[in-house]
Amino acid sequence: MGFFERYLSVWVGGSILAGIGLGVLFPAAFELIAVMEYAKVNLVVAVFIWLMIYPMMVNVDFASIKDVGKKPKGLCLTLVVNWLIKPFTMAGLGILFFEYLFAGLVDPQTAKEYIAGMILLGVAPCTAMVFIWSQLVKGDANYTLVQVSINDIIMVFAFAPIAALLLGMTNIIVPWQTLLLSVVLYVVTPLFAGYLTRRKLDKSSDHHEIAAFTEKVKPYSIMGLLATVVLLFGFQAETILAKPMVIVLIAIPLLIQSYGIFAVAYGWAYLWKVPFNVAAPAALIGTSNFFELAVAVAISLFGLHSGAALATVVGVLVEVPVMLSLVALALATKPWFARFS
């Protein structure tokens, strides 16, 4: 893990403080950026999110799909957790906390937006950071690539319908045109661009050029993430200063979701006798989120100043320390899987 990835939560925390400070000092500048949009897609934020997502998509290897039949248990576990469990538990926790447990602390309309942001996080399985988590637990790198590639292909077709279903269940009107446009902008297009880049770099089937390229553009990805966080918290500065406890309220169900999903996936892998180098990455893939996509879609659907956008950004703040703690837990329990190797 590089220097920036290791301390990503620190940089995100600093960006949050910077965004709030700049939002208070220069509100007119943020208002100007907020109106720079087309079809409800903010152009400035779209550029930053593209900087985040594109380098990740270069890592997706469509050729790895031919290995889908190898070690089917790990792939089955990941797909069931990502698409049949995780979105629905996230929606359930959002409703439980913001419509019942926290009902007196948040107004109903804002509560709906927080729930929507949480749903978008739950429906977006992680794409890039999982390579880091897999490396940290010494997982099977090739198999992790297969899992991520299959997930991304499913995401192209499943993200919008599942998000619309769950948002509809929470009585939120879903603008299908905006949702589909977001999927095209933030999944299909960067995935296609990543595919073309990978083909150009990998003509001789030597992955060193791809590795060198992704290492070179990685700082831009992190810069895009941090710039997006600064903008989002700048837009939300007044709300956050007026209600600082809102970050804690959003973080609580997100933490429960993360540790709960990991327990389900990791426990299932153990009972199913999946080897550790597949079980640990599978559980970590199921736990982590493609928060870049969730942020982009939340902005497109609900706006830069929305509670949904804020909820997805809190997901960024929570994700890195949680995932590092789960990596430590997986390594500590690695001996449990020794007899499955």
pLDDT digits (tens, 9 = 90+) for 151-165: 878 887 888 889 889
pLDDT at 169 over 70: yes
Q: Mind listing the pLDDT tens digit for each residue in 240-272?
A: 787 788 889 999 999 999 999 999 999 999 999
pLDDT at 328 over 60: yes
Average pLDDT, stretch 13-18?
87
Where b means 16+ CB within 10 Å and e means fewer, 114-142 reads bbbbbbbbbbbbbbbbbbbbbebbebbee
- The phi and psi torsions of 289 (rounded to 5 degrees) equal -125, 150
pLDDT at 15 over 80: yes
C-alpha distances in Å from residue 179, one per residue of 164, 298, 327: 8, 9, 33
Query: Rounded to an integer, what distance in angstroms lies between the CA atom of residue 144 and that of residue 72?
Result: 12
Residue type, 101: L
Where b means 16+ CB within 10 Å and e means fewer, 240-269 reads beeeeebbebbbebbeebbebbbebbbebb
Q: Mind listing the pLDDT tens digit for each residue in 74-95?
A: 889 989 999 999 999 999 999 9
pLDDT at 137 over 60: yes
Q: What is the DSSP letter of 39?
A: T
Q: Comparing 197 with 341, which gets the higher pLDDT?
A: 197
For residue 254, what pLDDT is reported? 96
Instruction: Report pTM.
Output: 0.79
Q: Comparing 217 with 70, which gets the higher pLDDT?
A: 217
Q: What is the DSSP letter of 289?
A: B
Domains and CATH numbers, the chain: 3-332 (1.20.1530.20)
Residue type, 327: V
For residue 45, what pLDDT is reported? 78
127, 56 in Cβ contact below 8 A? yes
pLDDT at 287 over 70: yes
pLDDT at 5 over 70: no
For residue 128, what pLDDT is reported? 61
Instruction: Give the highest mean pLDDT range of 47-61, 258-272, 273-287.
Output: 258-272
Query: Rounded to an integer, what distance in angstroms lies between the CA atom of residue 157 and that of residue 335?
Result: 38
* Mean of pLDDT over the chain: 83
**Among residues of the chain, what percentage have pLDDT more than 90?**
29
C-alpha distances in Å from residue 247, one per residue of 20, 103, 307, 319, 325: 13, 15, 11, 14, 20
